[in-house]
């Protein structure tokens, strides 16, 4: 039996799931910061984000190869695992469900802003670098920094082409 739901409900469900994940990230960061202090927590979170983003990018590469998608910055979203249905441009600054949840937390816990930014920077940069193999990424507008939107650019980078990753842990 086939069941259909409205687009509105589907978007709401995806956004709800993303907001739950955003809250989980906040809870982990808060616990790590409490246990390890801010600087050490930042190091641990960065390393975890890098490892997970690298794994995701490897899966994206496999998908791109299977589907004949070129590994270019323009095709990152085509190979991505992000359910973009939940990223709703009509919501303006709240278009990203992570950003919406994290901005609410930042209002109450201003110390969280660098951790929210770190998630976006490490994840998106690492995915770009691993997926393309020759481009880096810069998020130059970000809703968690107070901007009205997120805006990014991808640039060729000879260090990335040689295997050097921006957020790779020391020694990798």
Q: Report pLDDT digits (tens) over 144-165.
A: 999 999 999 999 999 999 999 9
Lowest mean pLDDT among 43-52, 80-89, 110-119: 80-89
Answer yes or no: is 172 within a domain.
Answer: no
Rounded average pLDDT over 67-96: 93
Residue 85 CB partners (closer than 8 Å, separation 6+): 10, 11, 14
The number of CA neighbours under 13 Å toward the Cβ of 119 is 19
Domain count, the chain: 1
Answer yes or no: is 69 within a domain.
Answer: yes
Answer yes or no: is 52 within a domain.
Answer: yes
Answer yes or no: is 94 within a domain.
Answer: yes
Task: For residue 154, give its domain range.
Answer: 7-161
Answer yes or no: is 130 within a domain.
Answer: yes
Answer yes or no: is 46 within a domain.
Answer: yes
Answer yes or no: is 140 within a domain.
Answer: yes
What pTM does this model have?
0.93
- The per-residue pLDDT for 170 is 80
């Amino acid at each position: 039996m086939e069941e259909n739901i409205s687009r509105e409900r589907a978007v709401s469900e995806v956004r709800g799931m993303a907001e739950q994940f955003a809250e989980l990230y906040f809870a982990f960061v808060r616990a790590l910061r409490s246990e390890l202090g801010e600087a050490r927590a930042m190091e641990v979170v960065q390393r975890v984000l890098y490892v997970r983003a690298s794994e995701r990018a490897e899966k994206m590469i496999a998908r791109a190869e299977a589907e004949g998608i070129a590994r270019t910055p323009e095709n990152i979203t085509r190979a991505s695992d992000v359910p973009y249905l939940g990223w709703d441009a009509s919501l303006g600054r709240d278009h990203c469900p992570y950003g919406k949840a994290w901005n609410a937390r930042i209002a109450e816990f201003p110390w969280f802003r660098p951790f929210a930014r770190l998630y976006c920077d490490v994840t998106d940069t690492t995915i770009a670098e691993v997926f393309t193999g020759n481009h880096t990424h810069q998020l130059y507008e970000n809703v968690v920094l107070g901007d009205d939107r997120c805006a990014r650019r991808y640039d060729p980078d000879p260090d990335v082409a040689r295997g050097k990753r921006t957020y790779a842990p020391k020694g990798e």
